[in-house]
Structure 1
């Protein structure tokens, strides 16, 4: 049954089936060929995959991000980020990264970042004299900060697969890795801007303008603090925090900034529903796939096999990095987490690896797959949003990928980068 499952998934993906459909159909074929269980078990497991209270946070965080975008609050964040660095050499590149860091604290989605503020920043950079493919590549790379800095949809899904970590702990742990990625991208932008002569044409804003932009951005920035502080001090759970985020985003857009109109609500709700449906469909389809692997004893077999190799924790993490980087080329992060974490997390725990560190390595690794040619889904979204060809975008990627891999190695060899902050706050 396992062989049928794997071969079926590969063939369906080669034929161009969407990931969710490929997972569900491969599972159904495997159950039919195996003949041990009724077909009804596939539907039962699909329902089980989305029958979770913490999973309710996903649609609300998506809705909050759409309300922020629909209320034109992304422009407020862009002006706030650009005012500090826009006048420097390569300044708009830094602003691109900075806006992704700020928007990550609202959306939790790389695709939303690339299609929203990322597309706007690419247009601004192109007008200022930056090469469009470079601006698009920077946008794609900075967008992956979205699933790292809280709130993060990927981390919510991860916590459902590994009982040793909580959503709150992962949210806190994501700050340092997210900022490391941002710093690495800024270093790349500094180097490329010097080599290509990307000079700023914008004058440094006056102190008065900077103060006004900062004051205007405070309500938006407070959303991130509200979520993290509320979870840390037990005011609400992560799921309840997502509802608070929706209410807060609506209040900001409708009454504080007065840019969110009633006529926009149906379209915002529709986009949120479609994106939520796509996420939950992947979640549902991943569950029977993972269930078949479990009942066939694949996780147990792999655990015993890897433990018998007597790898050190570092060697195991390096092996996991290679596996996930390859896996991430062909698979989106969410099904990757659903399928691989139940297999790999118990092995990491048996080797004494801190579960928070391992979670960060897995999430960052699979997120990198979104910008890895030839299949990276974020690349296609960025190409459409920025009107750049895939071949042009791919030519600009190598230096960014090197920077991202350096960050990944740091997270692998220096556990404190992942665990110090959540452990300091009591997680």
Structure 2
């Protein structure tokens, strides 16, 4: 990976050596690659990727920007608040932090710079704010974690709602504090009147109804999380073509092309990672890891903090999808044996590893936003520290107060 080889092939080459020189024949490696693709739950990944791109092309995003401006534009640090509120709204329709960060950098970034915001602050608000998209359902990271760890994807989706809302509040409070210190003004002169806010909500109703349909459909057994992806695609096409009339055939083809590239990359990594999963089981890695962690401390909160710190460091160097695919099969059995709810751990893990995408040295969301806004890495890092501190505070809170994550799934399931 450090030599610049594509991640999927770096994983594939390293894994294949085990089969070439290890106790099992190399033919098993090929079988593992093929069997990884024969999975019904995995259908959710390409379908939600496509749904996210379709909703960006269908005019849904534009209406959500107007709603986010009405909701948060009157607070100090106006456009930064709009960017964070938009990430929360996009969380219900997109599922990809990097896609959300790129879209906001393209649309809101230039406007923020023209209003006098520093490049570092604008980039940090957009990049770290996009983390909310990866927490609020439907999150692609949570789908992968649920599939690999054999954890209920429906419960994981519901579990992400309260942490996502809290993250929005924490980040908006941080943006307000920085804006007051630097003298950044609000975008709107006053809070919206009831009628204005209702009008913005009504314009965005089809986008806002989608997560409710999604969660309601999964909860009442109308469709599985995998089938929910197909529902999301159909919903985006119907709303884009028949309701808003903005999804043209050209835009549809464009969304398909982007989805094809994203899905190809994710599926290659999943296929080659399957070899590691089999290898880990054969070498009894989960059992040995459990024994090692249990020898460090008997306190599950201490163990959870240690695992989270390890994931945070790893997230600085590897993409969140890669960490999820490599470590979920190892860590889920470990935390389960230590008495930690895998749903609780899943939300903590995905928040932590996705945060790595917003931090130096190799954060994907960070590079995307900084590249588009021409922001130097040093300036981004300095201005991102308050936002990163707010997210880390929330992760620690989730570790010590599991009810934040578990109260909704326990009520609904």
CA contact (8 A) 1:119 1:139 kept: no
Identify which of structures 1 and 2 has the higher relative contact order when contacts are C-alpha pairs closer than 8 Å and 6+ apart. 2
Superposition pairs of residues 298-337 of structure 1, within 5 angstroms: 298-337=285-324
Q: Which moved more, 1:138-147 or 1:343-352?
A: 343-352
**Equivalent position of 1:189 in the other structure:** 175
Judged with a 3 Å threshold, the aligned counterparts in structure 2 of structure 1 residues 184 and 206 are, in CA distance, closer, same or farther, namely closer
**Equivalent position of 1:10 in the other structure:** none
**Equivalent position of 1:6 in the other structure:** none
**1:273 matched to 2:284:** no
CA shift digits 1:64-123 (9 cap, x unpaired): 111111123211000011012213321222111110011111111011101113431222
Indicate which of 177, 181, 184 corresponds to 1:198: 184
- The total of aligned residue pairs comes to 412
**1:415 matched to 2:402:** yes
Distance, in Å, in 1 between the alignment partners of 2:123 and 2:351 is: 20
Q: Which moved more, 1:37-46 or 1:69-78?
A: 37-46
CA contact (8 A) 1:324 1:366 kept: yes
Distance, in Å, in 1 between the alignment partners of 2:107 and 2:172 is: 18
Distance, in Å, in 2 between the alignment partners of 1:315 and 1:381 is: 34
CA shift digits 1:39-81 (9 cap, x unpaired): 3322221222232101101111111111111123211000011
Structure 1 residue 208: Cα displacement: 5.0
Structure 1 residue 271: Cα displacement: 0.7
TM-score (norm 1): 0.92
Indicate which of 242, 249, 255 corresponds to 2:229: 242
Distance, in Å, in 1 between the alignment partners of 2:383 and 2:36 is: 38
CA contact (8 A) 2:135 2:161 kept: yes
**Equivalent position of 2:3 in the other structure:** 15
Distance, in Å, in 2 between the alignment partners of 1:340 and 1:127 is: 43
Q: Which moved more, 1:216-225 or 1:346-355?
A: 346-355
CA contact (8 A) 2:75 2:176 kept: no
Unaligned segments of structure 1, at least 5 residues: 1-12
Superposition pairs of residues 127-146 of structure 1, within 5 angstroms: 127-146=114-133
CA contact (8 A) 1:118 1:143 kept: no
**Equivalent position of 2:411 in the other structure:** 424
Structure 1 residue 236: Cα displacement: 0.9
Structure 1 residue 391: Cα displacement: 3.0
**Equivalent position of 1:122 in the other structure:** 109
**1:88 matched to 2:75:** yes
CA contact (8 A) 2:9 2:272 kept: yes
**Equivalent position of 1:340 in the other structure:** 327
Superposition pairs of residues 150-165 of structure 1, within 5 angstroms: 150-163=137-150, 165=151
Q: Which moved more, 1:414-423 or 1:303-312?
A: 303-312
Unaligned segments of structure 2, at least 5 residues: none
TM-score (norm 2): 0.95
